[in-house]
Amino acid sequence: MDIISTKEILLDAKRNKYAVPAFNIHNLETIQAVLEGATELKSPVIIATTPGTVNYAGLEYLVSILKAGAKKTNIPVALHLDHCSDEDFIKKCINAGYKSVMIDASMESFERNIHITRRIVEFAHKQGVTVEAELGRVGGQEDNRIIDDKDASLTDPNMALEFADKTAIDSLAVAIGTAHGVYKLEPKLDFDRLERINEIIDIPLVLHGASGVGDGDIIEAVKNGICKVNIATEIKISFAEEIKRYFNQNPTANDPRDYLTPAKSAAKKVVMDKIRICGSENRV
């Protein structure tokens, strides 16, 4: 198969009340971990890249690797650009082969967020590309995007309805109490707010900052309309910790194949755990 958009993946998740994990990757090994884990569990999967990852790994490299990976499996694979506020960068990724993008103008005013998002939607939809946007502000750090707790804000359901109608987005990232990065305390999610948003909006909803959120809370969020769950930090931590452990035990090691192989296996375990929690196993 070729890489696809998230449209049918997320609409099926919404119809059948499960979520598809979106895993932020950083290199070949984390891509392999995601694709191998999802293939074994027969789950659709979304591979996400931040603008920082695109700049680090190279746009053409990433698209080529994902196309090669998708051809080796029989599961739906979407390549998604995560948290991008640069319209020209988004268009560049779309032209290079991305089928799903997130325009993040959540730091702008409500009216400006609508205007910017609508402009990207019009460009993307002409090329069969799906668009995610954010209303409210999920705190923490994602790539170079840092939002302090004082600047984070929860999604207003009525504003979300107007936003979705005026922008024609395909999915909406909602702020209900999660944050990007490592949690200092267990987050308390506003499920009443999420339930209300889900009642009045007819598009798939997205949960950002899900690394470190309890399994039960993720399951409850999925019951209340979350169709896409973003995982980044847990992949990075598992990958890095396994490399540290390897060098602690093998201080003179120098072959990347030796220390990246167990790191990939650790990341793959996270991938498979999240797939099971989201309920996307055996959906292909």
The answer to whether residue 262 sits within a structural domain is: no
What domain count does the chain have? Answer: 1
170, two tokens? 């395909």
Q: What is the pLDDT of residue 138?
A: 60
Residue 260 CB partners (closer than 8 Å, separation 6+): 29, 243
Share of the chain above pLDDT 70, in %: 92
Secondary structure of 16-28 as H, E, C letters: HCCCEEEEECCCH
> CATH code at 13?
3.20.20.70
The answer to whether residue 66 sits within a structural domain is: yes
The answer to whether residue 187 sits within a structural domain is: yes
User: Tens of pLDDT along 122-135?
Assistant: 999 999 999 999 99
The answer to whether residue 250 sits within a structural domain is: no
Predicted confidence (pLDDT) at residue 270 exceeds the cutoff of 90? yes
Q: What is the C-alpha separation between 58 and 127, in angstroms, rounded? A: 22
Ordered DSSP codes for 35-77: HHHHHHTT--EEEEE-HHHHHHH-HHHHHHHHHHHHHT-SS-E
Q: Give 185's pLDDT tier (boundaries 50, 70, 90).
A: low
Known catalytic residue at 156: no
Ordered DSSP codes for 205-220: EEE---TT--HHHHHH
Range of the domain at 183: 7-236+270-278
Mean of per-residue pLDDT scores for the chain: 92
Q: Give 145's pLDDT tier (boundaries 50, 70, 90).
A: very low
User: Tens of pLDDT along 193-228?
Assistant: 999 999 999 999 999 987 778 899 999 999 999 999
The answer to whether residue 249 sits within a structural domain is: no
Least confident among 40-44, 181-185, 232-236, 258-262: 181-185
3-class DSSP assignment, residue 109: coil
The answer to whether residue 263 sits within a structural domain is: no
| Mean per-residue pLDDT, 107-113 | 93
User: Tens of pLDDT along 10-66?
Assistant: 999 999 999 999 999 999 999 999 999 999 999 999 999 999 999 999 999 999 999
Q: Give 140's pLDDT tier (boundaries 50, 70, 90).
A: very low
User: Tens of pLDDT along 58-96?
Assistant: 999 999 999 999 999 999 999 999 999 999 999 999 999
| Mean per-residue pLDDT, 178-189 | 62
The answer to whether residue 247 sits within a structural domain is: no
> Which amino acid, one-letter code, is at 280?
S
pTM above 0.85, yes or no: yes
The answer to whether residue 60 sits within a structural domain is: yes
Q: Which of 2, 12, 82, 165 is catalytic?
A: 82
